[in-house]
Structure formats: C-alpha cells, structure tokens
C-alpha cells in the first residue's frame, strides 16, 4: 500500500536524522499484536536499535513465547528489563501482592523505575502510542519532552486501528496467541481481562485506571 511506503520513508528519515546527531535511540514494546507493526518497521530501518521489554514476572507465558518468536523472526535487539524488587517481595503489609492491593505502585516498581534507568542512558525514546487508544494519548504530539532531558518520538501517533490491521495483513505479521481467545490488550496476567468495550478495556478492569504510568509519569506535562 502506498501509505505504508510513505510512512516507512517518513519514519526512516526521522530516525536517520536523530542518529546523525549522535542521539542514543531506543524503543520499548509490550509485544502485543498491535505493537508488531512498529517493531517490523524498526527492524527494516535499523535492527540494532535496542527494544526494551519490561519483564515484570507477571506476564502470560504466551506473551514471553510470542516476544521470543517475534524477536527471532525480525532479528530484533530485544533486552529484558526487571524490577530491582524481587517478585516474591512485592507484597503489602497484609501479604497481598501489590498488583491486587496497590496496582499503581506495582506498575511503578515494575515499569517506571526500570524504564527510568534506560532513559538516563539514552536520548530518544521511540514509543508506539496512538491517539485512538486512550483519552490521555489523544493529547500527544509526534514529539514530546521526557524526563532526564530525553525526547519522546511517537512515530505512529496518528495511525488508527484500521491502519495497524492493514499493516499486519500486508506483511502477514504474527498475532499474539491470546488474541483468538478474546484478549485484545494484553498486559500482566493478574491485571488483564478479555475484551470489554475498547482496545484497552480489558486492562485493570473495575478500576479507574487505563495507563501503567509509562505514558503519563514519563512525559513532561505541558
């Protein structure tokens, strides 16, 4: 499709410009079906770009297997990040896992803190957020300032779910194995339910929460 070629060229040009300025560039991925088009693009543009995966220890086994499969097939430079706090010690005073009693703090120690260490050693974060995913993301621009003097680059911010689907089908990209079981947005197993009403409707069901913090805490507020 013409739009795919145009988008690939546009994103490739921006990444080339950033690297020509000696910017230390990285991306991150949750390795869901809708994440793979951006990873596929990056693999074609520059497969040496690090792809950080926040391995919380609470992911579905299917997600880990999918991550390994996609990384191998696309030749990605995938790096697992882990919390400094061992999984078995992530409990509150009543011996409940934090994902059950304090999910936002659980996200903080498993996602925010590990990502902060990456940001401190890089200049540009390529993040695959889209405006049509959540109300928060509707306000994002292609470039945003991040913490530690970093730049957030959102190359597919204007893409829609239809465009994601067209890209997936054009290149016959592998789908997350849980998608056929009704899981549209797949995160950590304890906090993920089957499709409810929107792309991220199955995350943190019953809570007033739709973001883990990566795209709220790690972006400079305007």
Backbone φ, ψ for residue 68 (5° rounding): -65, -40
Q: pLDDT category, 184, cuts 50, 70, 90?
A: confident
pLDDT in tens, 41-67: 999 999 999 999 999 998 999 999 999
Residues sharing a CB contact under 8 Å with residue 138, sequence separation 6 or more, in sequence order: 131, 132
- What distances in angstroms separate CA 114 from CA 28, 41, 84, 211, one per listed residue? 12, 25, 8, 16
Q: How many other C-beta atoms are found inside a 10 Å radius of the C-beta of residue 52?
A: 20
Judge contact between 70 and 171, C-beta under 8 A: no
- What value does the mean pLDDT take over residues 3-9? 97
- What value does the mean pLDDT take over residues 93-121? 86
Query: In terms of pLDDT, which residue wins out, 170 or 185?
Result: 170
- How far is it, in rounded angstroms, from Cα 167 to Cα 12? 16
What average pLDDT does the chain have? 88
Q: pLDDT category, 72, cuts 50, 70, 90?
A: very high
The full set of domains in the chain, from first to last, is: 2-191 (3.40.50.620)
Does residue 210 surpass a pLDDT of 80?
no
To 10 degrees, the CA torsion angle through 162, 215, 84, 99?
-70
Q: pLDDT category, 116, cuts 50, 70, 90?
A: very high
Residues with a known catalytic role: 212
Residue written as token pair 């997350």: 176
């Amino acid at each position: 499709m013409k739009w795919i070629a145009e988008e690939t060229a546009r994103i490739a040009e921006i990444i080339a410009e950033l690297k020509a300025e000696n910017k230390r560039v990285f991306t991150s991925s949750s390795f869901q079906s809708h994440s793979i088009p951006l990873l596929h693009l990056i693999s074609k543009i520059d497969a040496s770009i690090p792809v950080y995966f926040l391995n919380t220890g609470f992911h579905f086994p299917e997600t880990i297997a999918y991550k390994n499969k996609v990384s191998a097939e696309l030749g990605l430079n995938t790096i697992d990040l882990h919390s400094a706090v061992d999984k078995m010690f992530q409990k509150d005073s009543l011996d409940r896992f934090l994902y059950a009693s304090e999910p936002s703090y659980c996200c903080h120690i498993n996602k925010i803190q590990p990502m902060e260490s990456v940001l401190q050693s890089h200049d540009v974060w390529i993040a695959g957020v889209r405006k049509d995913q959540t109300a928060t993301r509707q306000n994002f621009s292609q470039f945003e300032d991040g913490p530690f003097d970093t730049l957030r680059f959102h190359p597919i911010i204007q893409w829609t779910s239809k465009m994601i689907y067209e890209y997936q089908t054009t290149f016959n990209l592998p789908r997350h194995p849980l998608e056929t079981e009704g899981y549209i947005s797949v995160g950590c197993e304890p906090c993920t339910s089957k499709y409810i009403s929107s792309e991220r409707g199955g995350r943190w069901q019953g809570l007033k929460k739709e973001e883990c913090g990566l795209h709220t805490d790690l972006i400079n507020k305007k």
